[in-house]
Amino acid sequence: MNTIPRTLRNIGVIAHVDAGKTTTTERILFYTGESHRIGDVNDGTTHMDFDPQERRRGITIQSAAVTVHWKGAQINLIDTPGHIDFNIEVKRSLRVLDGAVVVFDGVAGVEPQTETNWRLADQYGVPRVAFINKLDRVGADFLRVVAMMKERLGVNALVLQLPIGAEGEFRGVVDLLGMRALIWDHDDASQPPREAPVPDELMALATQHRDRLVALVAEHDDVLLQAYLNGETMPIDRLRAGLREAVLAGRVVPVLAGSAWRNRGIEPLLDAVVDWLPGPEDVRRGEGHPASDADGPLAALAFKLVAGDHGERVFVRVYRGRLRRGDSVFNANTGRSERVARLYEVHADRHVERDELLAGDIAALVGLKDTLTGHTLCDREHPVHLESIDAPEPVIHVAIEPRANADQQGLSKALQSMLREDPSLRIGHDEDSGQTILSGMGELQLEVAVETLHTRHGVEVAVGAPQVAYRETITQAAQVSHVHKKQTGGPGQYAALTLQVLPLARGEGLRFESRVVGGAIPREYIPAVEVGVRRAAEAGGLAGYPCVDLQVLLLDGSFHERDSSALAFELAAAAAYREAVSRAGPQLLEPVMAVEVTTPVEYLGDVTGDLHRRRGQVHGQTMRGVVATVLARVPLKEMFGYIGSVRALSSGRAQYAMQFDHFGAAPASVVNTIVSAR
């Protein structure tokens, strides 16, 4: 079957909080004719941040996808949040995108969350272009940010533009490929840039950067290399093709300049997305990404669910085949088929119904009931499992209780719906207090969740103080044999087994394996043993937190024809596990955060001293003029309320960002506090 060739770009916008992702995306909507007025983050009038909480807080919380068109190409664009608590949004977007625009603040440069997202993009093999934004701001310095990119990200940053004028005078860019200037004489977004010769004062710098560009591209192209060495002019088409190749291969990242807020630099950014970033057919990722082919059997990945008035919308990326309205699709994760009632392309203010999606498309499906984030939708006759999207482990939790007793059911229902949307939220239950435990990535995420409960679901809850989500683990191996025997009861009360526990590396979780041979324990009881072990591990031994990073081996056992049962084996396993762990050097693990504080030098001593008092380990410090940046690892427990102290310490002038780093052994003092509080 023939399909009309199309130019398609699936692109994410990623960066640190406040770099200007949403502002840039709003301009893109305007310049592509998708919206007729420019939404502004500051007045809460954006198309992209449409949630009332996003508008009020002035931050993006949920990633949002839109389809726009630019010079004949279709661009599916996902604006992501910069705050680390919502990082699952970046992860799942990068999982399904082919390229990304990374936005940098022209003053702050490479910020921590930009670095984290950059590494994520590396991990997912997503080619990027860099957009150095906010060049209108006082203190903005394009080339310093480029240098920081090289330093902190180790990237081969390829300057494609140079800014013309700085700070308030920033008015245009030199386009190094075309060796021309583009000037925006007014802030007015409806005026296209004016072309002009490269300003004299920038000629030397522009030539120098263009030479570097040409040399870099020529390195991989013999024809260009010859021309370069002979000092001949480069065939521009060949140069462009070579540059695209270098970007797709991840060898270089083109760097552009602009000020989204002042409507400067957006048109060339859109050109760059089309010119340099890959389409579905160019993607060179391996496993989990079948080749883009509209004629093969269907393979699509659900990457996001959004509840709405008209039911849930499931956002999918189609990798292979086609999907029509009314089709029945096979969910490889649930093993069941579901019917797709409708297909939608998402635009700024509206949804456009589509009859059919093709390989490469990103769109929303309505009608699916059982599909979750990370599930693969495919053809029943050709089942495939695309690489899923795993949610990070929560590090913090709060206890919540409905304010009205009758609301318990409403609360459960609302939470279930919220969990479907955000897989990085978890719910649990505190047996002792009867309270619901809501866990997640940070204080902001939980605060937003509680507000959503209220505003969207009408459930008012009382919220406890945030608590650290500890873990437990073991430090050495131990082996225990246990016999479960009840004389009083009837049949089914006998089980004997031998368990061994062994420490595993951080992040391995709990692995269970049976090494029983010769039917010492009948095969039908083995799953019960695993259930017993996992239940006991979940309940924890030392301080009541889940035990992780250990291997549990079932080595041997015995049974009675008449007196054994699955329940007996489950109970025996739990008892054996508890004893084995108590002999295996149990240890409490606490989440340790990577903290980066930026402060005027005069407060440096106070900031560092305060971090030390919080059991922090300072492992790096850089100075840039009168501003110092301190890098530290600090237990999360000690970081509650940090925002208040760091402001007080620095008269409100220091800023910080933190994110989960690792689980580390908690000192005895922490263990004792928890145990005595229980």
CB 501 within 8 A of CB 541: no
Stretch that binds Mg ion, among 22-30, 257-265, 320-328, 541-549 (CB under 5 A): 22-30
Separation between Cα atoms, residue 557 and residue 520, nearest integer Å: 6
Among 21, 91, 137, 209, binds Mg ion (CB under 5 A): 21
Residue 469's binding partner out of ligand GTP, Mg ion, none, with CB under 5 to 8 Å set by partner kind:
none
CB 13 within 8 A of CB 100: yes
Residue 471's binding partner out of ligand GTP, Mg ion, none, with CB under 5 to 8 Å set by partner kind:
none
Q: Which is nearer to ligand GTP, 260 or 499 (CB)?
A: 260
Minimum distance of ligand GTP from residue 571's CB (angstroms): 50
CB 67 within 8 A of CB 76: yes
Q: Which is nearer to Mg ion, 80 or 598 (CB)?
A: 80
**What are the φ and ψ backbone dihedral angles of 102, each rounded to 5 degrees?**
-105, 120
Minimum distance of ligand GTP from residue 137's CB (angstroms): 5
Q: Which is nearer to ligand GTP, 131 or 303 (CB)?
A: 131
Minimum distance of ligand GTP from residue 553's CB (angstroms): 46
Stretch that binds Mg ion, among 26-34, 53-61, 568-576, 587-595 (CB under 5 A): 53-61
**What are the φ and ψ backbone dihedral angles of 188, each rounded to 5 degrees?**
-55, 120
Separation between Cα atoms, residue 580 and residue 537, nearest integer Å: 11
Q: Which is nearer to ligand GTP, 319 or 660 (CB)?
A: 660
Contacts of residue 230, Cβ cutoff 8 Å, sequence gap at least 6: none
Residue 163's binding partner out of ligand GTP, Mg ion, none, with CB under 5 to 8 Å set by partner kind:
none
Q: Which is nearer to Mg ion, 75 or 528 (CB)?
A: 75
Minimum distance of ligand GTP from residue 12's CB (angstroms): 12
**Residue 139 Cα distances to 78, 143, 319, 603, angstroms:** 29, 12, 44, 21
Minimum distance of Mg ion from residue 59's CB (angstroms): 6
Residue 137's binding partner out of ligand GTP, Mg ion, none, with CB under 5 to 8 Å set by partner kind:
ligand GTP
Pairing of strands 617-624, 655-665: unpaired
Q: Which is nearer to ligand GTP, 20 or 442 (CB)?
A: 20
User: What burial letters (b/e) apply to 392-417, b meaning 16+ CB within 10 Å?
Assistant: ebbbbbbbbbbeeeebeebbeebbee
Q: Which residue has the tokens 């390195």?
A: 219
Residue 172's binding partner out of Mg ion, ligand GTP, none, with CB under 5 to 8 Å set by partner kind:
none
Separation between Cα atoms, residue 378 and residue 384, nearest integer Å: 7
Residue 18's binding partner out of Mg ion, ligand GTP, none, with CB under 5 to 8 Å set by partner kind:
ligand GTP
By CB under 5 A, is residue 22 in contact with Mg ion? Answer: yes
Stretch that binds Mg ion, among 57-65, 325-333, 347-355, 504-512 (CB under 5 A): 57-65
Q: Which is nearer to Mg ion, 76 or 376 (CB)?
A: 76
Minimum distance of Mg ion from residue 21's CB (angstroms): 5
Minimum distance of ligand GTP from residue 588's CB (angstroms): 34
Q: Which is nearer to ligand GTP, 448 or 501 (CB)?
A: 448
Separation between Cα atoms, residue 140 and residue 675, nearest integer Å: 51
**Residue 414 Cα distances to 302, 454, 459, 461, angstroms:** 21, 10, 8, 12
* DSSP alpha helix (H) spans, 368-480: 408-421, 443-455
Separation between Cα atoms, residue 307 and residue 419, nearest integer Å: 11
* Size of residue set near Mg ion by CB under 5 A: 3
Residue 261's binding partner out of ligand GTP, Mg ion, none, with CB under 5 to 8 Å set by partner kind:
ligand GTP
Minimum distance of ligand GTP from residue 41's CB (angstroms): 4
Dihedral angle over CA of 316, 318, 321, 326, nearest 10: 20
Among 24, 32, 35, 60, binds Mg ion (CB under 5 A): 60
Residue 521's binding partner out of ligand GTP, Mg ion, none, with CB under 5 to 8 Å set by partner kind:
none
Minimum distance of ligand GTP from residue 269's CB (angstroms): 12
> According to the 3-state scheme, what is the secondary structure of 78-125?
EECCCCHHHHHHHHHHHHHCCEEEEEEECCCECCHHHHHHHHHHHHCC
Q: Which is nearer to ligand GTP, 15 or 272 (CB)?
A: 15
User: Max CA-CA distance within the chain?
Assistant: 99
Pull the structure tokens for residue 234. Answer: 């480069």
Q: Which is nearer to ligand GTP, 60 or 93 (CB)?
A: 60
**What are the φ and ψ backbone dihedral angles of 362, each rounded to 5 degrees?**
-120, 125
Identity of residue 438: L
By CB under 5 A, is residue 87 in contact with Mg ion? Answer: no
Q: Which is nearer to ligand GTP, 58 or 290 (CB)?
A: 58
By CB under 5 A, is residue 25 in contact with Mg ion? Answer: no
Q: Which is nearer to ligand GTP, 51 or 579 (CB)?
A: 51
> Among candidates 178, 174, 180, which has minimal Cα distance to 197?
180
Q: Which residue has the tokens 């770099």?
A: 19
Minimum distance of ligand GTP from residue 58's CB (angstroms): 6
With residue 461 as reference, give the H or E element that holds it.
Answer: strand 461-463
Separation between Cα atoms, residue 657 and residue 641, nearest integer Å: 13
* Residues at the interface with ligand GTP (CB under 6 A): 15, 17-23, 41-42, 59-60, 81-83, 133-134, 136-137, 259-261
Q: Which is nearer to Mg ion, 41 or 510 (CB)?
A: 41
CB 425 within 8 A of CB 387: no
Pairing of strands 73-79, 478-485: unpaired
Minimum distance of ligand GTP from residue 189's CB (angstroms): 12
Q: Which is nearer to ligand GTP, 12 or 586 (CB)?
A: 12
Minimum distance of Mg ion from residue 300's CB (angstroms): 27
Residue 303's binding partner out of ligand GTP, Mg ion, none, with CB under 5 to 8 Å set by partner kind:
none
Contacts of residue 179, Cβ cutoff 8 Å, sequence gap at least 6: 198, 206, 210
Question: If you ran DSSP here, which 8-state letter would residue 348 be given?
Answer: S
Residue number closest to ligand GTP, CB atom: 82
Residues lying near Mg ion in the complex (CB under 5 A): 21-22, 60
